[in-house]
Amino acid sequence: MPQKVWNEDLVKALQARHEVAWREQKQAQYKWRDGMRTIEAVRKDIRLTSTGKIYNLPTQSKSFVKTVYEECVKIINGEAPIYPLGYRVLTPAERQNLEESAFLPYIEQLQRESGGYAILLAFHFSQQESMKKGSDM
């Protein structure tokens, strides 16, 4: 009997938790987003064997924290639902705001007058998708 592959369900589950946390303006939204991206990057099938062992689930790391790992294990074992309580689909306006907010943590970490900040501003004000070396920007 073929084993269930959990990759797609885990991505949906972590995305739903990210959306709920984003809607509630919780800091946890970032760990759910990072966990979702980590699961999306897994090339092998995440599966549960008949003995209860989970294969190919990423180990805990900076982008896949303990809370996210444990929630994935609960989902795979059937102890937690894929869609959390209180989840509802985002409206198109909310979806756009969510996508725009994905860049904020990085920008907020940059210090004004730093090299990274200057490069970011140069891209912003140049109205170009890429910059070339030289004076004809």
Q: What is the pLDDT of residue 102?
A: 63
Query: Is 109 a residue whose pLDDT tops 80?
Result: no
pTM beyond 0.75: the answer is no
Average pLDDT, the chain: 83
Query: Can you say how many angstroms the Cα of residue 111 is from the centroid of all Cα atoms in its chain?
Result: 24
51-84: pLDDT as tens digits: 999 999 999 888 899 999 999 999 999 999 999 9
Q: What is the pLDDT of residue 86?
A: 83
Segment 8-28 shows an average pLDDT of: 91
- 131 vs 31, more confident: 31
Name which of 24-33, 78-87, 97-106 the model is least confident about.
97-106
Q: How far, in Å, CA of 76 to CA of 131, rounded?
A: 45
Q: How far, in Å, CA of 27 to CA of 29, rounded?
A: 5
The amino acid at 93: A
Q: Where are the domains of the chain?
A: 7-85
Name which of 4-18, 35-49, 85-99 the model is least confident about.
85-99
